[in-house]
Structure 1
């Protein structure tokens, strides 16, 4: 038997096919270039900008401000104990004192990250060199024993964000086969599951994150929900372009500027401005503040994560409602 002839492909179909694969290639190149440019660019030569340091006595505060300039935000305190309280509360990276004309003391929070605590130590060493003094250092808020480089928060946050994005992307592609409420249930259930699993592995199992387990799990659950529902909303409204935008916003820019690899005070101004407003940056703040700084300043990051989650859910439901109204409007216009 002779097989039937293959259907002819017209010019318009060829153009559509070419546009489909070229769009994917270009999108991939844009995402890859942005990922490399942002991550590598931020690592090139980070410099502190208004690094918060508490300084004991007016004279030392004036000397420090004159010597450090805009690299440091000096807060004058009455005693080392007052400055130490600021450090342990997350309001300052270090407290600088001068118990004698030839000695400077620097008590710092290693938990603020190597970049920020390292910058404080370098600045103190520079000031000591100018005055001919020696520096006595003490890490009063050290990193967890099993987080020697202070990168566990970054990897946990990145992993939760990425897995939640992948789930939302897959569910968006399967929209024709999976009902909306089942997609929403899947993302909500996944957020709880991945949050608990990540908190268990990084917390009790490995001992890398020291936040109390319920608070650590809550932070990561909200991060997953924020990432997944935001991706779903962008995909529902903008299609493939929305998925690409989610990659750029959440997994690329969000994680690069989170402050987990490079301290927030060493980021350029544009990165500082958006760091805590994106889900990864908010999650890093919540995890670290719960773990090292007695839960100080955690209301804002939890509110940011909740807002992204609820906004994503709201836009998904709104898209569904507008899609249902469209056929009725078309029928009425006939």
Structure 2
């Protein structure tokens, strides 16, 4: 009875190490690791509010607020506390400030805007009150759910969906000789639906950590998965291993770090604010929070951004397939 040969015991054909193969992987790993640490830790270093949107009742108080807050706050004058509260409940302002008496400032804020943003607003108003010799009465009129006391559930859910979708696309990119293109596309599309429903179920009905209506929460996460997977697949198809590394940097590192979930958008540096809402994780965080706490206001833009990333990735994958077929028409190739 003969046994199959052990490939590791073949000494007649020794493996010749191609140093470029392992050095490129090591360098890619170092770049990704360093970028991950630099971005996440760097953004945590003494974040400063910039143009934090706060509504202020009355021109006199608004003028004093502009002088006291300077560029840290974007003051929106309103004629009544009700108008200011409407802006807070729609997510257009973090808080509304009102002089309830000569010695008391009233601050109605949205805790659902995130601990960092609402905390910054409260700290700034406390400083202004101390300067003018007044006290502050605070009310959280859009509070976070009790099952998301730190407001980080959206960050973890979005990070998890993005990461799992990237891993799937990376694996399918490496399996081009074993899985036909259309089956890889079906797998990514089916996975997007599955992970979107699973993540929405766990974070929504099961844990109660995300309060968006289930269909809208699932839709946002399905689009996020599709955007992440198809973008990764496209970058891998056109750029090879370098494209996979670029996908890690763009989606799981920079995209999640600047999403506005861990650190509020208005506390991010200028470069991060410029790209935050344009990357899939940032768009998904906005959609999830807006649907959950702010009556779904201004959600068309983030959903459209997710759809554009998905469709652009799909188009680039199909274009790569067509390009390869035109270059080698006699051989079946897969992007």
Superposed pair shares fold, TM > 0.5: yes
Match of 1:208, SS state, is coil
Give 2:227's aligned residue.
226
Task: Please show how residues 190-229 of structure 1 align to structure 2 within 5 Å.
Answer: 190-229=191-230
Runs of 4+ in 1 over 2 A off after TM superposition: 3-9
1:218-243 Cα offsets, whole Å, 9 max, x none, are 00000000000000000000000000
Give 2:112's aligned residue.
111
> Using the alignment, how far apart are the partners of 2:243 and 2:161 within structure 1?
20
Give 1:184's aligned residue.
185
Superposed displacement of residue 5, structure 1: 6.9
Task: Please show how residues 76-115 of structure 1 align to structure 2 within 5 Å.
Answer: 76-115=77-116
Match of 1:64, SS state, is helix
Give 1:143's aligned residue.
144
> Using the alignment, how far apart are the partners of 2:221 and 2:131 within structure 1?
45
Give 1:285's aligned residue.
286
> Using the alignment, how far apart are the partners of 2:330 and 2:301 within structure 1?
42
- 1:6 to 2:12 alignment: yes
Match of 2:328, SS state, is helix
How many matched pairs? Answer: 323
Pair 329,95 (structure 1): closer, same or farther in 2 beyond 3 Å: same
Superposed displacement of residue 6, structure 1: 2.2
1:146-198 Cα offsets, whole Å, 9 max, x none, are 00110000000000000000000000000110000000000000000000000
Give 2:3's aligned residue.
none
Pair 137,176 (structure 1): closer, same or farther in 2 beyond 3 Å: same
Superposed displacement of residue 145, structure 1: 1.1
Match of 1:176, SS state, is coil
Match of 2:75, SS state, is strand
> Using the alignment, how far apart are the partners of 2:10 and 2:54 within structure 1?
80
> Using the alignment, how far apart are the partners of 1:112 and 1:247 within structure 2?
27
> Using the alignment, how far apart are the partners of 1:8 and 1:308 within structure 2?
45
Give 2:324's aligned residue.
323
Match of 1:200, SS state, is helix
Q: TM-score, normalization: structure 2?
A: 0.95
Give 2:256's aligned residue.
255
Give 2:162's aligned residue.
161
> Using the alignment, how far apart are the partners of 1:133 and 1:183 within structure 2?
63
Superposed displacement of residue 33, structure 1: 0.3
Give 2:269's aligned residue.
268
Q: TM-score, normalization: structure 1?
A: 0.95
